Chain A
């Protein structure tokens, strides 16, 4: 069993059974937004108790105004708690030195649009006090990793949204952080970019990094997160492992390749003999994302391939 599996296995419903390092901890964390006169405008977060462990991908879900972004900003020290505590790597979130080990990708890539990609990454690397030679190598590696080598001299104001997200991600990784906070990481990305982002998240997790993301795109969360927390009106309503939370324990699914009609009849007979109703029987569908990525891959392999629409609303490919 790998370290990561050991860590994940030790987590159950948000409570560590033994040993894994706690990266983020909040204790009855609350945030009240007040107006100039100190009157309560809104209570954005109510007594949040949460622990996030090293090496896991944690998803924070919830509708608009549920407190996801407020939690994220409290973790980053961009907001200060009204009551309760928040610790990152065992230090108060208001302690700037914790940022040495953190990478943050905001929802919109809030970058300086007059800088080019190289200048942007070099600037953020300097904020980590990196010497010039280290910076130069790190910047080149990151630009290559996010596939922007061809556009590294162009100012960011000329970048598309997808390109801006990529450079935003690169700046979040400039210090090779142990904890990465991603706010809507796949927002604004096309399906290829989305897949690449998800693959990257899993790769980072495999490197032992901790990732906290909040997203509206539940499918993306489901694909990459080990654990999730669901917030609603500032309160934590659900917390646990994704596979356990989503498992329908009283329904059994069997997947078999190339089942013959004879075998199908026999299986149905056995089920009927035991008095079990078959709720669904058929071929599973692939996801739209997989279909899209397959078509793109085939199109790259066969550039002449195109679709002709038929009168019945379907298409022939030739």
Chain B
């Protein structure tokens, strides 16, 4: 069992197929609500400003004219306006941002510590994080200044007196900023790759004289004898690798700090052998995980949707109790033998551990990994493992299973729709099958590409916590360079949605207010999950009030020195505070629904933790951004159209 120190992404990853339809429905509903709200406010505004002419102004000129404009968009005009935006951005010296980035990289070499335990993550987080914030801030400033300064300088007069639709102005600006941002991101992507690779580059020296014999000499087919050798490489960056040479003279080094080195054998002129190590390998990877569907089995052996909550823990994981029948059951689908060319099927997992008693703190909690045929219930216990918090365990399921502790028939027990208890499968598996000493993973356990992997905690009084992405089958690796590109694509998507907000806000706000508002969208977007947790009460699930406390209630608790779990005295003051908090939380809920989930769009963690970013995830994020962009452009169009720019 190998142990690597990488953590997977701790979030529920949406699957495109199951995500798209509900998301589309929600989007249409939200769009309709937004349209109704804007229409109502717009009508009131027109009646206030234009009095008796207000009806005509709203329905004929604004609404009808506005929708007609939407279908008369000219690509050439949008192109011209985008070109103007790019020219202006260059005139505003956006190239300085690239220089700042390059300077940052030059000096970062002094401060990034390559001797740390995970230097690749340090480098990648630095490069991607710097790019992310630089580009987003740049876009906030550009978008906040463009239209308001056009209106202030009155240059918009010469544009609006041409046959230009306001939607074309919005689209032109959005496209222009996207082009600028893409160019900058492209440069940063190309520069960051060699920076990371060079920054992580190191090698080790192997002193042949220090290698010691490993075992007895072995007779080779050609009649000669040879001895395997082992030793250590010289230390570089505070680590060294164990070094082996097998009896055939093939050298290799062990994995250390997430990497290894390729070794070349060099024969010197005097006939001696020396070993030259290449650069680090295996650090910059893009693992491809196959995720399954997670179900739970409770302590009585009944199928349940969720495990148990262990109290004040992050709700993301559900827990199973050790020493009982409780288990986490992952069902994988579409497994094909050709996707796994090796001898084994690698499984990686990261299990949360909750201890109700300390036990031996130096030792992990024991768990067991089982595989089950979902059709006939044949189950074998493959491995007993020791789980440690915050570490990935890498287990290998051999294609031909010879080593296993027990083979048995396991039924799934579940409650049917009519309330009766059902068992699956109803018929037990044949005794012949159970008595075998060897199984084939694909023939005996995988049915139509479907297999179950079970996880159980073996120590009573201890708990394992798990969520869907915590256990996955690793199908292979993709190009890191490509994954880095996808990571930058994540930043690009964040940038696009922020540009949309910036440009739309600038259609009715002045520069300073647009600047602050867009910055607000950016900050709130980056903390979107936290906001949603507050709104949905996920952050403090144990507090039972519908709005889980708010600023006023918290203030009262601070003054009274009451904890969040105690009930407040039922006074008129607390009732008012709770009512105000309820309104505030509703308001926050609304904001949270409008603010884009920019933290979810960020894919930096995937790159730095070494996980391939799937096309499905990119599609979900891409469609989310388009889903924001369309209403933003339409709203911006109507705002600008309704505005008297010469007023």
Contact = CB atoms under 8 A, between A and B. Distances in A.
Contacts, number: 100
A115 B161 contact: no
B88 A97 contact: no
A40 to B, nearest CB: 11
Contacts of B164: 96, 99, 127
B363 interface: no
Given A99-B163, A127-B77, A129-B77, A111 B158 contact: yes
Interface stretch (A72-80, A187-195, A213-221, A279-287): A72-80
B644 A124 contact: no
Interface in A54-111: 73, 76-83, 92, 94-97, 99-100, 102, 104, 106, 108, 110-111
A78 B87 contact: no
B69 A80 contact: no
B570 to A, nearest CB: 42
B70 to A, nearest CB: 12
Given A34-B49, A82-B53, A95-B65, A110 B154 contact: yes
Interface stretch (B78-86, B375-383, B407-415): B78-86
Interface in A103-136: 104, 106, 108, 110-112, 114-115, 119, 123-124, 126-129
Interface string B143-171: 00000000001111111111111000000
A77 B160 contact: yes
Contacts of A83: 50-53
A38 interface: yes
A106 B84 contact: no
Contacts of B51: 82-83
A136 B48 CA distance: 47
A26 interface: no
B611 to A, nearest CB: 44
A76 B164 CA distance: 12
A155 to B, nearest CB: 9
B161 A76 contact: yes
B162 A78 contact: no
Given A110-B154, A111-B158, A127-B163, A73 B646 contact: yes
A114 B50 CA distance: 38
Main secondary structure of the interface of B (DSSP, over half): helix
A226 to B, nearest CB: 24
B158 A110 contact: yes
A104 B157 contact: yes
- Between B69, B81, B165, B644, the greatest number of chain A beta carbons within 10 A of the residue's beta carbon is seen for B644
Given A78-B644, A80-B61, A112-B155, A129 B74 contact: yes
Nearest to B62: A94
B163 A78 contact: no
B392 to A, nearest CB: 53
A77 B88 CA distance: 26
B61 A123 contact: no
Contacts of A127: 77, 80-81, 159, 162-164
A interface residue count range (under 10 / 10 to 19 / 20 to 34 / 35 or more): 35 or more
Contacts of B76: 126, 129
Contacts of A100: 163
Contacts of A292: none
A135 to B, nearest CB: 10
Contacts of A102: 161
Contact of B647 (A38, A79, A94): A79
Interface in B158-209: 158-165
Contact of B48 (A38, A92, A99, A171): A38
Given A38-B48, A123-B84, A97 B163 contact: yes
A126 B164 CA distance: 10
A77 B77 CA distance: 19
Contact of A33 (B153, B156, B647): B647
Given A78-B157, A108-B154, A114 B88 contact: yes
B223 interface: no
B578 interface: no
B565 to A, nearest CB: 47
Nearest to A181: B161
B47 to A, nearest CB: 9
A128 B53 CA distance: 31
Contacts of A115: 84, 87
Contacts of A171: 158
Contacts of A128: 162-163
15 contacts: A77-B160, A78-B161, A80-B57, A83-B50, A83-B53, A94-B61, A106-B154, A106-B158, A110-B153, A110-B158, A112-B87, A126-B77, A128-B162, A128-B163, A129-B76
Given A96-B164, A128-B163, 14 more contacts: A78-B157, A82-B51, A83-B53, A94-B65, A96-B65, A99-B162, A104-B158, A108-B154, A110-B157, A124-B158, A127-B80, A128-B162, A129-B77, A168-B158
Interface of A: 33-34, 38, 73, 76-83, 92, 94-97, 99-100, 102, 104, 106, 108, 110-112, 114-115, 119, 123-124, 126-129, 168, 171, 175
